Homo-oligomer: A and B are copies of this chain.
Amino acid sequence: MSRRIILLAHGSSDKRWCETFEGLAQPTLDAVPDSLIAYMELASPSLQSVISDAAKEGVTEFSIIPLFLAAGRHLRKDVPAMIRELEQSLGVTIDLGAPVGDNPLLGFAIRDLVQQQVSS
């Protein structure tokens, strides 16, 4: 009955795109219990399938952490609409967090990788 943490990526029909997001998610999936990855569109598992599968197991609370650098139309409109529909049809509670790029840790990681590349 525990809460699920969903790392939500934009999907793509290009397998390489999804592989990058799977790589980005892996350290979190290894370290954070009940975390999983899902895609907004064009790839599986979809957000809908991940939430409805967990709801069938009795999970009622979900936190979505968007693997997006910034919030555009998808995070301001499309995903909130998907969430409202899932909450109504499944009777679950879904919290939509800020995109990962809003967290200062990302800016520090970008600085570190640029310094790595510049000095190599």
Q: Known contacts A21-B70, A72-B17: does B101 contact A112 (CB below 8 Å)?
A: no
Task: Name which residue of chain B comes closest to A32, CB basis.
Answer: B114
Stretch in A49-57, A79-87, A102-110 touching the partner: A102-110
> CB distance B69 to A107 under 8 Å?
no
Is A97 an interface residue, CB under 8 A from the partner? Answer: yes
Asked whether, in the complex, the Cβ of A65 is within 8 Å of the Cβ of B107, the reply is no
Closest to A23 in B: B107
Q: Is A20 an interface residue (CB 8 A)?
A: yes
CB distance B17 to A114 under 8 Å? Answer: no
Report A107 CB to chain B, min CB distance, Å.
5
Give which listed residue, B25, B99, B118, contacts A32 with CB less than 8 A: B118
* Residues of chain B lying within 8 A (CB to CB) of residue A63: 117-118
Question: In the bound complex, do residue B107 and residue A106 qualify as a contact, i.e. CB atoms below 8 Å apart?
Answer: no
